Structure 1
Amino acid sequence: MKFKIPRELDVVNDQLRSNSVSPQSPLKRTEENGCTDNDDLATPQTPPESMAHLNTQFLSRSWHHSNEDSKHIPVKIKSASMVPVPLILPPAEPDLGSRSQPTSRRGSVEYDSNFRRFTRAYLIPAAKWAYSPLSKNKKKVKHDEDYIIEYSTFRPLRNLPQLTSARDIFIHWRRVVEDETKIPFDFPENYLSERDFSMLLSHITEIIELEHEFPQRITQGSSGSYFIYGRRPNGEIYKAGVFKPKDEEPYGPLSPKWSKWAHRTFFPCCFGRSCLIPNLGYISEAAACCLDRHLQSYIVPFTEVICLRSPTFFYSYWDQNSDVTKLPQKIGSFQVFLQGYSEADVWIRQNPIPSDHETISNLPKYSDVEVDINESEFTFKWSIESMRQFQEEVEKLVILDYIMRNTDRGLDNWMIRVDWTQVDSDSKTTKIMKPKIKIGAIDSGLAFPWKHPDEWRSFPFGWLFLPYSIIGQPFSMRTRNHYLPLLTSKLWWEQTVKGLRGVFTKDQDFQERLWHKQLAVLKGQAFNVVEILKLGYAGPLELAKRENLLVFDDVMYMPENIDSNEDIFRMQSSSYETDTSRQYDDIHTPLLPSQAHTYLSNSLVAINEDDVANGSGYEHINRDSGVNATGNRRVIIERLVKETSRPPVFTWW
């Protein structure tokens, strides 16, 4: 049945249609501006007062069955008396397209507004997309599972303490600090708690966005890095740290160094380091600090991944803005500035290291100097004690760089400082000052490779070119007692791996596969360190000559509680005896089935899989209970592998 709408309702219907599809409606304008107004979206449009008594259902049907020939339609009345109410139509409005209306100005205004709307909605976003770096949604990182090492390749020594609890690790740290400083335990200078760093971050953000003390770009280096300033209580401005944005790295799309841009654009085959993950320097900086904290060395300044914004940062044309609060945030690494340190190459030129045997034999035993009571400047001179101090500090740098396989450690990216302490004296006119050498490791953005260098360059460590009197000596006893208990502790490795993974997962391009490769290289390097520290005659030179190794983490599921004698028998069954007697064992991970054993089990199809004697206890439990069955725990079996890739072409570069 077709309904016919009287001519009196055509005007009302046309008005409703224009309100519902008009480009000037509030909902349409809200969507075009890119924002949402909850009040406008939640409040329905109120119909005209003259249509208050019309049935909504009938009107919706009348839009689809309109006919000008119909003069009467049934209208449902909301009134209880069911008495028809006369329809009051609004006064007719003049046609906007009539000659009496100024069409030229109206058309130009509409054209300008439409063009501005089109520019905001389409042109500017398209230009930003074309000229800005590609932005990817942050991938979902797999939930952190328990990292429990069941079998470790790092074997502890019997005469050294074993660290099996967090309390043991802290006591070891306290003992190391007190033995080095000869005073009661106190936190190192580079130590910074989370609360202190949070306060520092709030302070520098306020300095930038409210006081407009903007960061200053550093001219040295191959990436965009900036000095971040702070204000002391007395009003003095000081350098609080160094910020390195991710998108301004040499691999980044917004690197401000034109030489690196030309290098990457015109000579891509000679650019970058294939062993490193591109655009991950800021994560490497923070991971170096994390590893240094776990090693209890504290030679790396506190470093964390943060977000900052400033007009002095290098932005694309479409993101530039004079108002700092309207600029997009940049993610990068923030490293606390080392106060009072000098670059190693500058300090060594000013204080040449004794290298020949005759000069070293004539050195005094101590470097203490006696000066006037009011003197504040002191002259450093080498002595037997200062040579020992410098060697122990360099050994900290050697172990840190070697474990994280730093590919960019020269004499220009580690620092040296001499602290002076007054020695008790009976004189009232003079004082005796004692020097203490400290080392700071900065610029660790080219570390943590996913494979060993195997192409053109080998990236040797810069400290290998120090005089033989420093780098050619065996590792000191203090260094051995410091690092061996840590590197051979399962608990320490579990905490360190969890901490490093937490840093690397902050990157939106984090990949689990590459992380496992990075960890294999790191553990292989640490294995070489442990083996060298066990030898009393070996030092950094012997460490650098070690072959490249990898330590992979194999996952296995084991039962949490073994109560029955049958399960104990399975655990002690053919996992050790059958495979070893048939020479199918793996000398590094005896708990894992070897490839030869897998081949035989696949070829002998007549063997019953339910037979207990045909498999080890681990295989039987995993087969019956399932890999992720309730009651099984996830453990790590470390597997040592020799690197088989060819050495780089240039071993000295």
Structure 2
Amino acid sequence: ALNSLYVLCGISIWCVCSGTHGGDFNHFPDDPEFADIIQRAEHAIENGVFPERISQGSSGSYFVKDPKGKIIGVFKPKSEEPYGHLNPKWTKYFHKLCCPCCFGRGCLLPNQGYLSEAAASLVDSKLGLGVVPKTKVVYLASETFHYSAIDRAKSRGKKYALEKVPKVGRRFHRVGLPPKVGSFQLFVEGYREADYWLRRFEAEPLPENIRKQLQSQFERLVVLDYVIRNTDRGNDNWLIKYEKSGEEGGEQKVSLDSCIKIAAIDNGLAFPFKHPDEWRAYPFHWAWLPQAKVAFSQETRDLVLSRLSDMNFVQDLCEDLYEMFKTDKGFDKTMFERQMSVMRGQVLNLTQALKDGKSPIQLVQMPRVVVERSRSGGQGRVVTLGNAFTQTFHCKRPFFSSW
């Protein structure tokens, strides 16, 4: 790469010619539909239709639009995560600065939320759940993202060079701001927060066929959250879409055309490397719902049990997650293996609960299990699974055991 020193307004700025463009990274040959959506997002930004920062939440996340201004996705940059160095919302920075002893979630790796979002979508796809809007890791650059003063100065310097010295300026691979890596989740339309619909359903009970649909969708959400050990599932970060068929005589007419769907969004605080500490358990808030007291249906068992009970399937899933997680600059293979040990334990518990006909609330009351690659030592009751893995039962009961 050629480094050229330009003096702009009396300020010396090093301009590095080896910049990268988002197009160098955003290749999805196995998913042309997703690739087309990302291309539309890039074209929109190039034509001045910039992503819009979302006011809610504690991080920098953005509604991404197509060239016509329609929202097509939600982008969450790694650098703008709750404790990222470029988080534009000062509350988390103040928290980190003033309350370091209570900083973050001690069971999660910092600044890997974007990977957790994409990994949740991968698990959803592998298990055939269909509740997580498609999410992948992408690179985007936009003036509306939060950049450091240095990055913005470099961008201005490159533009100046291109204008004043075109032959040299053309050597820059990228003239604008550097792309940010993050998760891109497809935007879902017609959904509202689960809390809204759950209150409606209490006042207006659902017809039996729709109630069964809701129960089936709810069980898929439970399966997802339990496998990835989501530490942030409240009734405000999963969505429900209820499409009614029509009206007759002033009263709702429900037919086979009516349907109900769940969308599990905000999956960035999952895949812990250890089970949450007892004093801060991060419970699954859906466990308080009446749907959690109903035993898993035969439909759910037929969907996932054969896969979850197959060690080859679980190993393939771990390998797919490895290929995704290792792309992060801060990737640590030892910590990743600990994350997978927790996930394997969750899979083991879920498999047994499905076989025994348990309900979601009974599932979360089961003792915590870690399944790690065989080695000597360890705490709790240890059982060897063949020659490859060791199963450890933790003595501490989970949060819900007191119910």
TM range (shorter): 0.7 to 0.9
Are 1:230 and 2:230 matched, yes or no?
Answer: no
Q: Partner of 1:310: helix, strand, or coil?
A: coil
Are 1:198 and 2:59 matched, yes or no?
Answer: no
Alignment CA distance shift 1:290-1:31 (3 Å): closer
Alignment of 1:344-359 (within 5 A): 344-349=194-199, 351-353=200-202
Shift of 1:649: 9.3
2:259 corresponds in structure 1 to 436
Q: Deviations over 1:594-652 (max 9, x none)?
A: xxxxxxxxxxxxxxxxxxxxxxxxxxxxxxxxxxxxxxxxxxx12211125x5689999
From the two aligned structures, give the one with the greater strand fraction.
Answer: 2
Counterpart Cα distance in 2 of 1:589 and 1:114: 65
Counterpart Cα distance in 2 of 1:410 and 1:278: 21
Alignment CA distance shift 1:642-1:484 (3 Å): same
> Matched residues, percent identical?
39
Alignment of 1:382-421 (within 5 A): 382-420=206-244
Which of 295, 298, 307 in structure 2 is aligned with 1:477?
298
Q: TM-score, normalised by structure 1?
A: 0.52
Which of 272, 277, 290 in structure 1 is aligned with 2:122?
290
Counterpart Cα distance in 2 of 1:193 and 1:450: 30
1:338 corresponds in structure 2 to 188
Alignment CA distance shift 1:477-1:247 (3 Å): same
Alignment CA distance shift 1:650-1:291 (3 Å): closer
Shift of 1:348: 2.0
Shift of 1:253: 0.6
Alignment of 1:100-499 (within 5 A): 119-120=12-13, 194-209=31-46, 211-231=47-67, 236-320=68-152, 325-349=175-199, 351-353=200-202, 382-420=206-244, 434-454=257-277, 456-466=279-289, 468=290, 470-499=291-320
Counterpart Cα distance in 2 of 1:114 and 1:202: 34
Q: Is the 8 A contact 2:314 2:344 kept in 1?
A: no
Alignment CA distance shift 1:587-1:463 (3 Å): closer
Q: What amino acid does structure 2 have at the position aligned with 1:261?
A: Y
Q: Deviations over 1:538-572 (max 9, x none)?
A: 100110100110111349xxxxxxxxxxxxxxxxx
Q: Is the 8 A contact 1:307 1:329 kept in 2?
A: yes
Which of 525, 533, 537 in structure 1 is aligned with 2:346?
525
Alignment CA distance shift 1:479-1:432 (3 Å): closer
Q: Deviations over 1:572-608 (max 9, x none)?
A: xxxxxxxxxxxxxx852354xxxxxxxxxxxxxxxxx
Unpaired runs of 5+ residues, structure 2, are 17-28, 160-173, 247-252, 376-381
Alignment CA distance shift 1:382-1:590 (3 Å): closer
Whichever of the two has the greater Rg, that structure is: 1
Shift of 1:193: 5.6
Counterpart Cα distance in 1 of 2:121 and 2:211: 26
Alignment CA distance shift 1:31-1:519 (3 Å): closer
The alignment yields a C-alpha RMSD, in angstroms, of 3.1
Shift of 1:353: 3.1
Q: Deviations over 1:385-435 (max 9, x none)?
A: 22211111111001110111000000111010123569xxxxxxx996631
Q: Is the 8 A contact 1:454 1:648 kept in 2?
A: no
Shift of 1:251: 1.5
Counterpart Cα distance in 1 of 2:394 and 2:338: 12
Counterpart Cα distance in 2 of 1:650 and 1:480: 23
Q: TM-score, normalised by structure 2?
A: 0.82
Are 1:539 and 2:290 matched, yes or no?
Answer: no
Q: Partner of 1:243: helix, strand, or coil?
A: strand
Q: What amino acid does structure 2 have at the position aligned with 1:207?
A: A
Which of 33, 56, 62 in structure 1 is aligned with 2:4?
33
Q: Partner of 1:265: helix, strand, or coil?
A: helix
Shift of 1:275: 0.1
Counterpart Cα distance in 2 of 1:31 and 1:339: 47
Counterpart Cα distance in 2 of 1:648 and 1:589: 23
Q: Deviations over 1:221-245 (max 9, x none)?
A: 11110000014xxxx4311000000
Alignment length, in residue pairs?
A: 361
Q: What amino acid does structure 2 have at the position aligned with 1:286?
A: A
Q: Which runs of 4+ in 1 moved over 6 A?
A: 647-652
Q: Deviations over 1:99-143 (max 9, x none)?
A: xxxxxxxxxxxxxx8995x8336xx99xxxxxxxxxxxxxxxxxx
Q: Is the 8 A contact 2:239 2:262 kept in 1?
A: yes
Q: What amino acid does structure 1 have at the position aligned with 2:384?
A: H
Q: Is the 8 A contact 1:456 1:649 kept in 2?
A: no
